[in-house]
Amino acid sequence: MAQNMMLYWSSGSPPCWRLMIALEEKKLQGYKHKHLCFDKKEHQCEEVKALNPRVQVPTFKHGDLIVNESFAACLYLESAFKSQGARLIPEDPAEQALVYQRMFETNNLQQKMYDVAFYEWYVPEGERLESALKRNRETLVTELKLWDGYLEKMGKGSFLAGKDFTMADVVCFPVIAYFPRFHCPKEKCPRLMEYYEMVKDRPSIKASWPPHWLENPEGPDTLKNL
């Protein structure tokens, strides 16, 4: 099964990482893959262009089927291999709803983190404003409090959508992992950092850990002033 799969990916990309976690959780090791460097614009290669009109990674192919959006690819794997590996979407409709809610809320957390952590990357030097960066930090702190509240309500030792590891964790953990890497103060999101410590050694996450993070465990300190 996995031998018929091909994944084009980049190290440290949350969308790529979540798909790799899903592959591990569904016991689909052995898939073909190609690591592409963002800095060298390798993701814009002809192989990716032929499969993905947006020229983005992850680009994922299973047999003749192409699924490029990371959420869609993760949900495809759960549906296609429902009885294999970990069950990532619960049967109960109410539990499903919470999993889906946390999954899609991840987009908010990711974008607000990017607005601070990569501010100098996105905004040209002549257009940068300290007041804008301050607003971005305040917005991110508010978002972190929201996620901390979710975990607080569910109780110590909970995953993002309850007592079981689900697709919500697959999707969101790669975003949460940026906070300790980029030196976010633990007091800004203590529950999320407890969650991070609990989940980071899960086999599927360790097996898919970004290679360049292993080589350089310390990232930039762009979140230290939250």
Greatest alpha-carbon pair distance for the chain in Å reads 54
Output the pLDDT for position 2: 84
pLDDT 10s digits, 11-24: 999 999 999 999 99
pLDDT 10s digits, 144-166: 999 999 999 999 999 999 999 99
Contact indicator for 66, 60 with CB cutoff of 8 Å: yes
**Residue 42 pLDDT > 90, yes or no?**
no
> Are both 198 and 133 inside the same structural domain?
yes
Output the pLDDT for position 39: 81
d(CA 9, CA 104): 21
Please, which pLDDT band fits residue 133 given cuts at 50, 70 and 90?
very high
> Are both 48 and 138 inside the same structural domain?
no
**Residue 43 pLDDT > 90, yes or no?**
no
pTM score, whole prediction:
0.96
φ and ψ at 92, to 5 degrees?
-65, 125
Boundary-marking domain end, from 52, 80, 108: 80
Please, which pLDDT band fits residue 122 given cuts at 50, 70 and 90?
confident
The gap from C-alpha 217 to its chain's centroid, in whole angstroms, comes to 17
Output the pLDDT for position 114: 97
Contact indicator for 196, 93 with CB cutoff of 8 Å: no
DSSP calls for 52-116: -TT--S-EEEETTEEE-SHHHHHHHHHHHTTTSS---S-SSHHHHHHHHHHHHHHHHHHHHHHHH
pLDDT 10s digits, 45-87: 899 999 999 999 999 999 999 999 999 999 999 999 999 999 9
Output the pLDDT for position 141: 98
DSSP calls for 127-172: G--HHHHHHHHHHHHHHHHHHHHHHHHH-TT-BTTBSS--HHHHHH
d(CA 23, CA 73): 10
pLDDT 10s digits, 84-112: 999 999 999 999 999 999 999 999 999 99
d(CA 115, CA 95): 31
Asked if the structure places residue 67 within a domain, the reply is yes
Residue 192 maps to which CATH number? 1.20.1050.10
> Are both 188 and 146 inside the same structural domain?
yes
Burial class (CB in 10 A: 0-12, 13-18, 19+), 131: exposed
pLDDT 10s digits, 134-148: 999 999 999 999 999
φ and ψ at 115, to 5 degrees?
-60, -25
Average pLDDT over residues 119-132: 90
pLDDT 10s digits, 187-213: 999 999 999 999 999 999 999 999 999
Print the domain residue range for 13.
2-80
> Are both 76 and 101 inside the same structural domain?
no
The interaxial angle of helices 167-176 and 190-199, nearest 10 deg, is 110
> Are both 122 and 175 inside the same structural domain?
yes
**Residue 38 pLDDT > 90, yes or no?**
no
Please, which pLDDT band fits residue 121 given cuts at 50, 70 and 90?
confident
Token duo for residue 91: 């049967």
DSSP structural state of residue 44: G
Output the pLDDT for position 137: 97
Boundary-marking domain end, from 50, 80, 110: 80
**Residue 41 pLDDT > 90, yes or no?**
no
Asked if the structure places residue 39 within a domain, the reply is yes
